[in-house]
Amino acid sequence: MLIPVEMIDVFSELYDIETENNIKLLSGNSEVIDSDVFFSKYIEKDLCFADVIIPQTLAIQKTDWLKDLIVEYKKYKLKEEKERSKDKIKRMAKEGLMDHKSIRIYENAAKRLRSYSFEEFLKENKEFFYCDLAKIPTIANDFGYFEKTYAAYFIAEELYKYYKEEVDSVFYKPEDCNLEKIYIKHGLDLNEIDIQYNKYDLFSVSGDIELKLSNLPKLYDNRIGNYILVNGVSEKIFGLLEKLYNAGAINSLAIRPNFRVVGDDIDNLMIALEELEVGNIFCFENLKAPSITRLYSTDDYFTKLWVVIDGYNMTFEEIISDFIIYKDSIVTQVLHLEYTFVDDLPIIKHMDHEFIFYSVDDFEKRNKDHAQKGEIYKRVKTFKVDNSNVPFILEDGSCVLYAILDDIFKEKDLLREYFEKVLE
């Protein structure tokens, strides 16, 4: 990361304040909490801005690396916006409806992506400053200062957003881990009492742990009387894992926790999704649930989807053109499972989801060779199931394998195509 160390230090301090605010909200604290710490510090002309952020930004604002970073980051966010609106348009179209708002968002994002530049970034923020921010009394009363510094502020704000996404990444575990400190406070060392945590940075679900499904998936640890937030596992997959665990189909479960947002007395304030029926959400209409024998293939490659079936092991890996980049690596997602047969029915004994990190050269080889490994960084698991008896097909007719793949993989059409081809 090329951002000056002095700025990183300030970003870290400000994000710690944001984290504390989030913990207060999750703890049910009703006091007024600043929802935009970065902007507040700027208009207050806090020393962290006056002495560090503004001067450092002015010193680097004309460098090529900064311009490239901001443009690429903004394009990345536009792509996310485009894909979200595209998914909404598709969902509405299936119901015979037209989502005009999402169509406009999609078209606008697509148009901006084609020509977005650093100059465009400066132009849109200039308009925002004069048309909106200039009307704020604090800024209007000291207009000269803010007119000179607003461009540096907007550049620094993008760098701060970029920094937070790096820190919040499911791949990142801070050396100064808040989660571990909370347990130490209660006389427990996670690295000593939890083998999965020590080896994979996964939090084991045991008899002391309760899974709490809501729009913010979490675990409740009776040993410390506190909620542990989950990281990298969607509410849909969490709901499926909870259903299987509570039914006794999963005997050993470990999930990646949030290492940063942790605090005593975090409450279960989020709206519980009591109406959530996992089967209805995951059930794939008009697609017969595949049997394991019909899925048999050694190397099935459908453009960007690799499927390797070896004995009683199955591995699915998605290779997409719009790939995730982490540091100097290209990231893919893999779902691996081991299965057996009980009374002629396929049963999942082990399953895990992880992110794989490839160098550029290894990624190019991976496109042609399913045996090519990505080893530039240690793999990051988000959940792991062991010693279990999970049926491929649930009582409601939905397929566990398809359910999870459909949630974690981006290329939904390719996934459906693969399953349909298997059923021919």
Stated as kind and residue range, the H or E segment containing 198 is helix 195-200
Cross-strand pairs, 228: 219
3-state per-residue secondary structure call for 241-278: HHHHHHCCCCCEEEECECCCCCCCCCCCCCCCCCCCCH
Q: How confident is the model at residue 388 (pLDDT cuts 50, 70, 90)?
A: very high
Per-chain mean pLDDT for the chain:
82
Integer angstrom CA distances of residue 171 from 112, 355, 378: 29, 8, 9
Q: Which residue has the higher pLDDT, 321 or 58?
A: 58
> Which pLDDT tens digit goes with each residue over 274-320?
333 332 222 223 223 333 322 222 333 334 677 777 777 888 888 87
Q: Give all strands (DSSP E) within 177-216, no chain letters.
A: 203-205, 209-212
Average pLDDT over residues 322-341: 85
Tell me the pLDDT tens digit for each residue of 53-103: 999 999 998 999 999 999 999 998 898 898 888 888 888 887 888 888 889
What stretch of H or E contains 351?
strand 345-358
pLDDT confidence of residue 419: 66
The H or E element spanning position 383 is strand 380-386
Quick one: pLDDT at residue 1? 56
pLDDT band at 157 (very low <50, low <70, confident <90, very high): very high
Residue 129: the pLDDT is: 94
Q: pLDDT tens for residues 172-222?
A: 888 888 899 999 999 999 999 999 999 999 999 988 898 988 777 889 999
